[in-house]
Amino acid sequence: MGNFDVTGYLDRLGLEAEPPSVAALRRLHAAQVERVPYEALEVQLGRPTPLEPSASLARILRGRGGYCYHLNGAFSALLRELGYQVTRHLGGVQGGPGDAPNVDRNHLALTVSGLPDDPAATWLIDVGLGDGIHEPLPLREGTYTQGPHTYRLRPSEVAPGGWRFDHDPSGSFAGFDFAPGAAEMADFAEKHAWLSTSPESGFVRVCVLQRRDAAGVDTLRARTLNRHGVKEVVESPAEWWTAAADVFGVTPDLFTDAERERLWRQVVTQHEAHAGGPVVSV
């Protein structure tokens, strides 16, 4: 895994180390989605990003975030360092209700099992979906409500032995499936390269930042800021960076003048093109 700064990571989350438990896992999960933004600004700037969790953590410690491979990759490494039994899984997110369910590796899914105070239970963990879950879900068929969202878990129809997560109808994606077996980070390398560079990738087409808290979701999509359902269009680069900093913790000093100018030009172009469709949060 290389050098993995557990102390720095916990500091970023505002937490102290504690033994594995259901309550501790909930605290870790909620702190991660509240403090570490879902964003793909490196993709917007044309820069490749490594898959190694230690590299993702280094960016997180600089005040940045990432998408599922980065966020779930780093978080799963943190959990392992803290003594949790974590499994990475091949997953597939569907952007809209018309998309066929699949496990095409565009999502890294996580489960945790063997917690000392509930050893028989398995938990769905996901800090890499933008407007996904706020706290872990027990991996049992049923419906679950968190804040304004109601989710459904059920056996997958496309991954035998795996599971299906159905998002709330108001969510930015329809749902995802994941396979039962264990996956390695290298299993996602080819899809990661496509998502980072293909003109057809949602991460390339539209600049999106998201952050989840107990009450709902904040989203900055191109120039449209959506705070728990209340939308406004930011009118200037200064307003855009104020929103990025105040809402998502991504401050302008993390980028050069040229990078900030490039990002603003791109979000203006994306906004003017009426970049529609759901945010594919993978």
Q: What is the DSSP string of 6-74?
A: HHHHHHHHT-------HHHHHHHHHHHHHHS-EE-HHHHTT------HHHHHHHHHTT--B-HHHHHHH
Q: Residue 282 above 60 pLDDT?
A: no
What integer pLDDT is reported at residue 187 of this predicted model?
98
The amino acid occupying position 34 is E
Q: Can you spell out the DSSP letters for 133-177?
A: -SS-EESSSEEEEETTEEEEEEE-SSSTT-EEEEPPTTSSS-EEE
Q: Alpha-carbon distance 178 to 157, whole Å? A: 10
Residue 276: band (very low, low, confident or very high) from pLDDT cuts 50, 70, 90 = very low
Delineate the domains of the chain, giving CATH numbers in brackets: 6-190 (3.30.2140.20), 203-272 (3.30.2140.10)
State both tokens at 204: 């390339």
Collect all residues with Cβ–Cβ distance below 8 Å to 31 and sequence separation of at least 6: 13, 14, 15
**Tokens 């290298």, residue located:** 186
Q: Are 178 and 159 in contact (CB under 8 A)?
A: yes
Strand order in the sheet with 118-125: 137-138, 118-125, 107-115, 85-94, 175-178, 163-166, 149-155, 142-146
The pLDDT tens digits for 104-128 are: 999 999 999 999 999 999 999 999 9
Q: Are 107 and 123 in contact (CB under 8 A)?
A: no
Q: Alpha-carbon distance 202 to 269, whole Å? A: 15
* Mean pLDDT of all residues in 76-101: 93
Q: Residue 177 above 60 pLDDT?
A: yes
Q: Alpha-carbon distance 42 to 65, whole Å? A: 10
Structure-model confidence comparison of residues 228 and 269, the more confident one: 269
Q: Residue 140 above 80 pLDDT?
A: yes
Q: Alpha-carbon distance 46 to 106, whole Å? A: 19
Q: Residue 91 above 50 pLDDT?
A: yes
Residue 3: band (very low, low, confident or very high) from pLDDT cuts 50, 70, 90 = confident
Q: Residue 2 above 80 pLDDT?
A: no
The pLDDT tens digits for 8-63 are: 999 999 999 999 999 999 999 999 999 999 999 999 999 999 999 999 999 999 99
C-alpha pair distances (Å), 80 with each of 4, 19, 84, 122, 161:
11, 12, 5, 15, 24
Which letter does DSSP use for residue 194 in this model?
A: H
Q: What is the total residue count of the chain?
A: 282
The pLDDT tens digits for 208-246 are: 999 999 999 999 999 999 988 899 999 999 999 999 999
Burial of 187 (0-12, 13-18, 19+ CB in 10 A): middle
Q: Alpha-carbon distance 197 to 69, whole Å? A: 15
Residue 1: band (very low, low, confident or very high) from pLDDT cuts 50, 70, 90 = very low
Collect all residues with Cβ–Cβ distance below 8 Å to 226 and sequence separation of at least 6: 217, 218, 219, 220
Residue 98: band (very low, low, confident or very high) from pLDDT cuts 50, 70, 90 = confident
